[in-house]
């Protein structure tokens, strides 16, 4: 919602400042070893305003499985008109995957399972992706495939094999609509569509409101999955703190206590540039 760079490399460095964002997301709280995501993002424009760079480090835990992604971003911007800009992005890096299969507690009959006889430990799985980002002051449209390579995990010689990275296509957009002339209330509807081969199409539809250029509040509907509340408090042009909570309406609802997400964003100025545009997305 507040950091398109995670899914789209073309977003990297599009603002005047150098930005850092950290995020922690716990899914289905109350259930042991459910997905936990920890991420760190960095992006910056270069002295050539048309070029931006970035870095994304993401650590995912699920059960005993651990997946570390380190992906760098490069973006280049061109003017289509005096107000409309198009950015092209390239994402590249590697994934480190570990799954200690020998540590799993199997069925109580202690019957030997050959698929769990060895651990999976893959140090370096290269990947790359592409993205495009079209925007003006009042709207944006993004298209990206952040991971084009579908790596397979076949570390041991037994039957264990699963897909490490699934190719997913993202299409998203948003529109900025000031409700009053002084921008004390701004409305931003957004849409994110995810398409993965062999799975149902999924979309997030959100309504976001910015109050007095300080507080973002939003409500989001995720198809087939959850309702989500989002908030992002901007203490200044340099510091942002975000919170989100998902309430799933699937069959797992009675057994979990919600999904929670916390984020902190910091902007720094090493180029002596002023903010030329309001950062609404």
Residue 277 included in any domain: no
> What was the pLDDT predicted at 275?
61
> What was the pLDDT predicted at 274?
64
Residue 279 included in any domain: no
Q: Considering only residues 233 and 97, tell me which one the structure prediction assigns the higher pLDDT.
A: 233
Question: Cβ distance 135 to 81 under 8 Å?
Answer: no
> What was the pLDDT predicted at 238?
85
**How many structural domains are present in the chain?**
1
The Cα–Cα gap between 190 and 207 comes to 7
CATH at 78: 2.40.160.60
> What was the pLDDT predicted at 243?
96
pTM of the model: 0.89
Per-residue pLDDT of 148-201, as tens digits, reads: 988 776 654 444 455 556 789 999 999 999 998 877 899 999 999 999 988 889
Residue 274 included in any domain: no
Residue 276 included in any domain: no
Residue 216 included in any domain: yes
Per-residue pLDDT of 118-154, as tens digits, reads: 888 888 889 999 999 999 999 999 999 999 988 776 6
Beta-carbon count within 10 A of 115 CB: 13
> What was the pLDDT predicted at 79?
94
In which band, very low, low, confident or very high, does the pLDDT at 111 lie, cut at 50, 70 and 90?
confident
The Cα–Cα gap between 139 and 186 comes to 13
Residue 249 included in any domain: yes
Q: Considering only residues 72 and 100, tell me which one the structure prediction assigns the higher pLDDT.
A: 72
Residue 130 burial class via C-beta count within 10 angstroms: exposed 0-12, middle 13-18, buried 19 and up:
middle
Residue 215 lies in domain: 4-268
Beta-carbon count within 10 A of 158 CB: 14
Residue 183 included in any domain: yes
Least confident span in 26-30, 81-85, 100-104, 239-243? 100-104
Q: Residues near 40 by Cβ (< 8 Å), separated by ≥ 6?
A: 20, 21, 22, 23, 56, 57, 58
Residue 66 included in any domain: yes
> What was the pLDDT predicted at 158?
46
Mean pLDDT estimate for the chain: 88
Please give the average per-residue pLDDT across 14-21, as a whole number: 88
């Amino acid at each position: 919602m507040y950091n398109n760079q995670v899914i789209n490399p073309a977003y990297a460095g599009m603002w005047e400042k150098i930005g850092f964002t950290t995020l922690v997301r716990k899914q289905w709280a109350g259930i042991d070893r459910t997905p936990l995501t920890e991420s760190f993002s960095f992006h910056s424009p270069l002295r050539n305003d048309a070029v931006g760079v970035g870095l994304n480090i993401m650590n995912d835990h699920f059960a005993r499985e651990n997946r570390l992604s380190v992906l760098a971003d490069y973006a280049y911007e061109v003017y289509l008109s005096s107000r409309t800009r198009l950015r092209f992005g390239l994402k590249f890096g590697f994934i480190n995957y570990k799954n200690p299969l020998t540590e799993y507690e199997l069925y109580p009959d202690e019957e030997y399972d050959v698929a769990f006889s060895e651990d999976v430990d893959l140090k370096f799985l290269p990947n790359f992706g592409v993205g495009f980002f079209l925007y003006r002051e009042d709207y944006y449209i993004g298209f990206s495939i952040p991971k084009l390579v579908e790596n397979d995990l076949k570390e041991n010689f037994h039957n264990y094999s699963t897909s490490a990275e699934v190719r997913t296509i993202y299409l998203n957009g948003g529109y900025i609509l000031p409700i009053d002339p002084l921008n004390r209330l701004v409305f931003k509807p957004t849409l994110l569509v995810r398409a993965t081969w062999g799975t149902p199409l999924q979309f997030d539809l959100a309504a976001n409101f910015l109050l007095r250029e300080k507080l973002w509040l939003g409500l989001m509907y995720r198809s087939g999955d959850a309702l989500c509340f989002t908030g992002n408090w901007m203490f200044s042009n340099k510091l942002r703190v975000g919170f989100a909570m998902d309430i799933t309406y699937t069959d797992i609802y009675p057994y979990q206590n919600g999904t929670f997400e916390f984020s902190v964003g910091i902007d720094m100025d090493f180029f002596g540039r002023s903010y030329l545009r309001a950062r609404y997305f």
